[in-house]
Homo-oligomer: A and B are copies of this chain.
Amino acid sequence: MHDRLLLRLELEDLNTAYAAALDEGELDGWPALFTAACTYRIVPRDNFERGLPLALMHCESRGMLEDRVASLRRASVYAPRALRHLISGVRVLRSDGGVVHATANYAVLQTLSDHETTLFNTGRYLDELVREDGALLFRQRLVIFDSVLVPGSLVYPL
């Protein structure tokens, strides 16, 4: 129980670092929270529930995460926006063979310049984590979002 509690608290710190990287524009820090061989996918609830494999972002390695970040900076054209993550309900599902399975709820609030802040996206994370050099890293983060409908564009990772 005590170990499990410490693990939850450590996961909370990791999620906080994850949110900070995205919210404060420190995007380079974002791939660093993943293992080199990793999966990151953003999936609408309906595809997930019906077992359809399509994802809005579909990264199969840390390299692909870095390519996303580079494209965001160099290739894509979009209106400036500020994001704010609220992550709660971090929960260890199970931990076996050195792999931690965890989940959390999130909401992402978006502000476009001279617009009011809006509720952009909500959902849950389904994670697998492993420890490398003492630090927990995401081996897999699956983002399952509640709405099938994205308001406008999904520019930044969730």
Contact A89 B16 (CB under 8 A): yes
Q: Give the chain B neighbours of A16 by CB distance below 8 A.
A: 88-91
Cα A123 to Cα B130 in complex, Å, equals 31
Residue picked from A109, A121, A124, A151, most chain B C-beta under 10 Å: A109
Contact B87 A109 (CB under 8 A): no
Choice from B8, B82, B84, B116 contacting A107 with Cβ under 8 Å = B84
Which of A103, A105, A123 neighbours the largest number of chain B CB atoms within 10 Å of its CB? A105
Contact B109 A122 (CB under 8 A): yes
**Chain A residues numbered 78-118 whose CB sits less than 8 Å from any CB in chain B:** 82, 84-91, 103, 105, 107, 109, 111, 113-118
Take A114-B149, A146-B82, A146-B111 as given contacts and tell me if A89 and B119 are in contact as well, using a CB distance cutoff of 8 Å: no
Residues of chain B within 8 A (CB-CB) of A59 are none
A residues whose Cβ falls under 8 Å from a Cβ of B: 5-6, 8-9, 13, 15-17, 19-20, 23-24, 45, 82, 84-91, 103, 105, 107, 109, 111, 113-119, 121-124, 146-149, 151
